[in-house]
Chains A and B, each alone.
Chain A
Amino acid sequence: MEHIRMPKVENVRLIDRISSRKAVLGTLYLTATHVIFVENVSETRKETWVLHSQISSIEKQATTATGCPLLIRCKNFQIIQLIIPQERDCHDVYISLIRLARPVKYEELYCFSFNPKLDKEEREQGWKLVGLKEEYNRMGVPNNYWQISDVNRDYQVCDSYPAEVYVPKSATAHVIVGSSKFRSRRRFPALSYYCKDNNASICRSSQPLSGFSARCLEDEQMLQAIRKANPGSNFIYVVDTRPKLNAMANRAAGKGYENEDNYSNIKFQFIGIENIHVMRSSLQKMLEVCELRSPSMSDFLWGLENSGWLKHIKAIMDAGIFIAKAVAEEGVSVLVHCSDGWDRTAQVCSVASLLLDPFYRTMKGFMVLIEKDWVSFGHKFNHRYGNLDGDPKEISPVIDQFIECVWQLMEQFPCAFEFNERFLIHIQHHIYSCQFGNFLCNSQKERRELKIQERTYSLWAHLWKNRADYMNPLYREDHSQTQGTLRPQTAPCNFLYKFWNGMYNRFEKGMHPRQSVTDYLMAVKEETQQLEEELEVLEERLAELKKVQLNNRKQNSKQQDRNKHIELSTSNNSIANTPQDYSSNVKSFPSRSPSQGDEEDSALILTQDNLKSSDPDLSATSDQESGVEDLSCRSPSGGGCLPSEDSGKDSDEAVFLTV
């Protein structure tokens, strides 16, 4: 609170980025957790909420005649442009936000004050939703080849690894500890995925400290043990996900990669995914393109290409495809590493798992996958996503890239995933929001020390509770795309990788399809299900009625059902939108007041009130006119749980008062 210099500023204008002509007047509030903009328009009083932890940068621009512009860029790719009348106010807001957006202690983060009004038991249940022990059991371990090891019980061997690690049965504690000493950050090879059908596995580690010639007997034994755990194959792949040049450079620092001569029966392979710094600047470049105001097609395509973003996405995907193929088709185990084994390794292992195992393509399975390959194996969420103020060079969109890989796969295999795009977008949102404790800190050790599970809530429980919003209507358990390994086309396939408008221009409503097929089909699906259930009931009743020879009553109930059906179906038909600025190349397009058109559109919107979005994060930031796709959404179901409504609407006033 002491950081808020200016709790409230009036007569602030929020600029619509698509058409600069539109701006809404309102009041800006700074609270302990959010920046809130409330429009003055009396009937709607639309609110835009932004969590401090979502703020990635704040830019104060040169004062103009109309006021002092403030540009807030968010980690969920929202961009908010405000014009504050007084330079002094703007400065105060700026200084306050700079501090608020960079907390220094974990305790300052939102998850420690976020209270979804669940009791203790519910919270504990929430944390139990995703369990890794169950997951390894599901995969079929422990078994004859793999066992759970308690060597890292107190995080003594490797402080960024989980306490429970799965290792080959033949690897003794001595071998594990020995191997860990020969690996960066002591991240020794451990099991990530095990394929029941053919015993092939995916293991992960960090780079060996081989330098130019160093060897380690235990490390060699460790790899040998991994190979032996797959009796069907006489070698293993060692996949170094770095470009060869980077790996070679590491040798000079006493690190490096495995020498095929020293390890028996390994096949070594470089993949060539760039490091976190390259990825950070690539995203930066792509976002600059997204931010361009009415760019030409060339501006956009050139910018996208120069950012290299899709090339990097493809590299990650290719690595995953390589590993999945080795496991599924060749039956060969794979050891994956990069430098520290917590960024590229996590990406690649999780993409491969997703391709291999249909379970990870379900909603629950996807949560498990992130928990397994990212959270438990010490992906440095705090550093990468800048939750606490830290070294900006540590920040990089590592998990964002993984999430995009999943989206690219969803585009290619529309029936293969149980969840939809919104699920991915909301997970991305919460990785940065710090509203839930799942992604806090850099390791399991730190999270245990902070007692995260006792003090915060789990995102997975929250998503699970609202799973109806995240369903892919095309998913069917018995569909061919949901069976077995996914085999994406590899060559030629560049054109298969597309710019993800739904994520990177998530808040530019006007750019998205105006009607949501997913929501429509979901409604249709639910309706069918409902009708089928009703039919069942009716048939039962009919059978009973037949006994007493009263057939005509059935007719009445049928009529009622049909009426109901009509209501539902028509709700999907609503679309209304407004034209954007098509005349950018026309110098002076007539600017007659478009009031007539606006009235028409809003009149249409009003008839759709009952269909308003279930997606407050979207509707909160879009104007009514263009909030088109929301209209065909399902009715709200527990809106208090979606991203921008983080604090829950009922606490609005409370928040204002704490200011």
Chain B
Amino acid sequence: MLLTVIPFILSMHRVASSSGSITLKCKDLKVLQLEIPGMEECLNISRSIEALSSVESVMMMYPFFYRPQSMKLKDGWQLYPLQHYYQQIATETTAWRLSCVNGEFTVCPSYPAAVIVPTAVDDNTLKKAARFHQGGRFPILSYYHKKNGTVLLRSSQPLIGPNRKRCPEDEQLLSAALNRGERGFIIDTRSAQAAKQARMMGGGTESKSSYPCWRRLHGPLERGRPLQESFIKLVEACNDTSLSMDRWLSKLESSKWLAHLKGALSTACLAAQCMEREEACVLVHGAEGTDTTLLVTALAQVILDPECRTLTGFQGLLEREWIKAGHPFHFRCARSAYSHARLKQEAPIFLLFLDCVWQLGRQFPFSLEFNEHLLLVLFEHTYASSYGTFLCNSEKERCLCEVKEKTHSLWSWLNQPSQQKKHLNPLYTYNALVIWPSVEPQSLQLWQGLFLRWIRSSQYLDEAWAEIQRLVTSCEDAPEESAGDRQCHSQPDAAHPHRQTQLGNAG
């Protein structure tokens, strides 16, 4: 087991005079108890584990030493080139261009080197707009909704401050994002009150008078400490074997995890709805623009775009909207739920995203190409990994640490055929439509596969999946050549061309 998996040793006690016992509580929520003969050995082992599991320097972490024989170092790092994705959008619409204004990470340290911005706005304007946003995160394109040409933008909060500062460049940037006469929506992931209060700290939110073409909506989401506490409480409740039936429900309730889930899905749906139904452009931001903002933009894309629901498309989405977008994984996913250390920066915002995707998969069992297992693997690897993919807080840091040169990419491992097979949903069929989930409390469930993974046996459920796999494959391998079969199963569009056309027309 990777030592970094263990956030801390819960307890060490003397079992007998000649042996000791160590309880290890791991970041993937597993709990292990080791009985070690010899008190001296026990102490030594626990000291070593403690030291090794709390390596501070990124460069000393395991990915820098992990050298599997079957993989080449550079593989995988170029699997989802951001520039390519953006270039594609730029060629499809003349209104957007690739900008390298952040080439040296000087304009915005948490943005990647290349970003996509309105063609009408030059790099100088961008630099000025960046100074008007927390951490320099000026509005950039996050997703282009091909169906109706609307775009999803994201940024951090504007630095309006108590004196109601304005920034003409920022206003210019935002109005350039809209076509003439169009109106857009700004979805602030804080409550109206919190957004207003942020002015006292130098932040704030776009005012109607300065941004007349934009209409503001609020979808308040929790982040930071309260979210981490919610995670800790939920894991505690799941592990508490003494709970009776009614106390279980109130513990589940008081963890608030499901409420956060409902909030995240609702806000993402609101953003998606603005784009798909109102045919309007959307800008999402909270405060820093690195947490709830990314949660909303990434989720909205899974809901809207069938490409993001494929195995590789989903990996590309994570690369674009989480890793390159500067979600501070190193800070957020350091210790997981068992740690008592009150780390200010720790928060399971990415886990919340994975849980939302799991809920989507439960409500639309045919529409995601990947299965629960992939989500579990991603959860594990954000907290402790042999691969460099989730290391550091931003592209800038990854460059400094030479992550791409000195570690392996998680994607190249996941995309090996043997791994891919494990992560495919046997029920998947391409679904071109938007998947609107239900966010009623009755429709959301505790993600048992993750939170109860080490607590209850999943044997019977695994057997059921094996049975599903068996049914589907036996259908595919049925009498005829399997090639013909696969085709009909995975590419139904070919057989339904008129449906595609209708969709195109409607959009």
- Chain A residues with CB below 8 A from B446, complex form: 495
Q: Report the minimum CB–CB distance from B255 to chain A (whole Å).
A: 10
| Proximity string of chain B (427-441) to chain A, C-beta cutoff 8 Å, 1 when within and 0 when not | 101110111101111
| Proximity string of chain A (513-536) to chain B, C-beta cutoff 8 Å, 1 when within and 0 when not | 111010011001101100110110
- Chain B residues with CB below 8 A from A567, complex form: 495
Whole-angstrom CA separation of A157 from B274 in the bound complex: 72
Given A301-B249, A524-B471, A514:B429 Cβ within 8 A: no
B269 at the interface (CB under 8 A from A): yes
| Proximity string of chain A (283-325) to chain B, C-beta cutoff 8 Å, 1 when within and 0 when not | 0000000100011111111101100101100100000000000
Given A531-B479, A561-B480, A575-B435, A582:B245 Cβ within 8 A: no
Stretch at the interface among A2-10, A49-57, A588-596: A588-596
Which residue in chain B gives the minimum CB-CB distance to A571? B492
A604 at the interface (CB under 8 A from B): yes
- Chain B residues with CB below 8 A from A590, complex form: 215, 278
Q: Report the minimum CB–CB distance from A569 to chain B (whole Å).
A: 5
| Proximity string of chain B (448-483) to chain A, C-beta cutoff 8 Å, 1 when within and 0 when not | 100010011100110110011001101100111000
The one of A300, A308, A528 in contact with B246, judged by C-beta atoms closer than 8 angstroms, is: A308
- Chain A residues with CB below 8 A from B406, complex form: none
Q: Report the minimum CB–CB distance from B180 to chain A (whole Å).
A: 19
Whole-angstrom CA separation of A221 from B452 in the bound complex: 49
The one of B218, B246, B258, B435 in contact with A585, judged by C-beta atoms closer than 8 angstroms, is: B218
| Proximity string of chain B (21-34) to chain A, C-beta cutoff 8 Å, 1 when within and 0 when not | 00000000000000
- Chain A residues with CB below 8 A from B461, complex form: 414
| Proximity string of chain A (565-596) to chain B, C-beta cutoff 8 Å, 1 when within and 0 when not | 11101101101111110111110011010101
Given A495-B238, A592-B278, A517:B427 Cβ within 8 A: yes
Q: Tell whether, in the assembled complex, residue A511 and residue B443 are in contact, meaning their CB atoms are under 8 Å apart.
A: yes
User: Which residues of chain B from 267 to 324 have a CB within 8 Å of any chain A CB?
Assistant: 267, 269-270, 272-273, 276-279
- Chain A residues with CB below 8 A from B488, complex form: 562, 565-566, 569-570
Given A301-B441, A570-B495, A480:B217 Cβ within 8 A: no
Which residue in chain B gives the minimum CB-CB distance to A568? B488
User: Which residues of chain B from 355 to 386 have a CB within 8 Å of any chain A CB?
Assistant: 362-367
Q: Tell whether, in the assembled complex, residue A573 and residue B364 are in contact, meaning their CB atoms are under 8 Å apart.
A: no
The one of B244, B253, B448 in contact with A494, judged by C-beta atoms closer than 8 angstroms, is: B244
B241 at the interface (CB under 8 A from A): yes
Whole-angstrom CA separation of A561 from B250 in the bound complex: 55
Whole-angstrom CA separation of A498 from B245 in the bound complex: 11
Whole-angstrom CA separation of A13 from B33 in the bound complex: 64
A413 at the interface (CB under 8 A from B): yes
Q: Tell whether, in the assembled complex, residue B364 and residue A514 are in contact, meaning their CB atoms are under 8 Å apart.
A: yes
The one of B242, B259, B475, B503 in contact with A600, judged by C-beta atoms closer than 8 angstroms, is: B503
Given A474-B468, A489-B456, A579:B436 Cβ within 8 A: yes
B50 at the interface (CB under 8 A from A): no
Q: Tell whether, in the assembled complex, residue B253 and residue A562 are in contact, meaning their CB atoms are under 8 Å apart.
A: no
A42 at the interface (CB under 8 A from B): no
Given A414-B460, A511-B443, A575:B215 Cβ within 8 A: no
Q: Tell whether, in the assembled complex, residue A589 and residue B430 are in contact, meaning their CB atoms are under 8 Å apart.
A: no
A657 at the interface (CB under 8 A from B): no
Q: Report the minimum CB–CB distance from A576 to chain B (whole Å).
A: 6
Interface size on A, residues (CB 8 A): 92
Q: Report the minimum CB–CB distance from B499 to chain A (whole Å).
A: 6
The one of B270, B277, B455 in contact with A492, judged by C-beta atoms closer than 8 angstroms, is: B455
Q: Report the minimum CB–CB distance from B203 to chain A (whole Å).
A: 21
- Chain A residues with CB below 8 A from B478, complex form: 527-528, 531-532, 535, 565
- Chain A residues with CB below 8 A from B240, complex form: 492
Q: Tell whether, in the assembled complex, residue A514 and residue B435 are in contact, meaning their CB atoms are under 8 Å apart.
A: yes
Q: Report the minimum CB–CB distance from A343 to chain B (whole Å).
A: 20
Q: Tell whether, in the assembled complex, residue B479 and residue A575 are in contact, meaning their CB atoms are under 8 Å apart.
A: no
A547 at the interface (CB under 8 A from B): no
Q: Tell whether, in the assembled complex, residue A566 and residue B495 are in contact, meaning their CB atoms are under 8 Å apart.
A: yes
The one of B366, B367, B475, B484 in contact with A528, judged by C-beta atoms closer than 8 angstroms, is: B475
The one of A515, A565, A585, A603 in contact with B366, judged by C-beta atoms closer than 8 angstroms, is: A515
- Chain B residues with CB below 8 A from A298, complex form: 253, 256, 259
Whole-angstrom CA separation of A290 from B245 in the bound complex: 19
Q: Tell whether, in the assembled complex, residue A305 and residue B250 are in contact, meaning their CB atoms are under 8 Å apart.
A: yes
| Proximity string of chain B (41-79) to chain A, C-beta cutoff 8 Å, 1 when within and 0 when not | 000000000000000000000000000000000000000
- Chain A residues with CB below 8 A from B199, complex form: none
B489 at the interface (CB under 8 A from A): yes
Q: Tell whether, in the assembled complex, residue A569 and residue B489 are in contact, meaning their CB atoms are under 8 Å apart.
A: yes
A98 at the interface (CB under 8 A from B): no
Q: Tell whether, in the assembled complex, residue B445 and residue A498 are in contact, meaning their CB atoms are under 8 Å apart.
A: yes
In addition to A414-B467, A514-B364, A565-B480, 16 A-B residue pairs with Cβ atoms within 8 Å of each other are: A297-B256, A297-B258, A297-B444, A301-B441, A311-B245, A415-B467, A474-B467, A492-B242, A508-B442, A513-B364, A517-B366, A531-B475, A579-B436, A580-B438, A603-B506, A607-B502
- 17 sample A-B contacts, Cβ–Cβ < 8 Å, listed by A number: A297-B262, A415-B463, A493-B456, A494-B248, A495-B456, A497-B245, A531-B475, A535-B479, A558-B480, A565-B485, A572-B429, A573-B431, A575-B435, A580-B436, A582-B267, A582-B439, A585-B218
Q: Taking beta carbons and an 8 Å cutoff, which residues of B are in contact with A? A: 215, 217-220, 238, 240-246, 248-250, 252-253, 256, 258-259, 261-262, 266-267, 269-270, 272-273, 276-279, 362-367, 427, 429-431, 433-436, 438-446, 448, 452, 455-457, 460-461, 463-464, 467-468, 471-472, 474-475, 478-480, 484-485, 488-489, 492, 495-496, 498-499, 502-503, 506-507
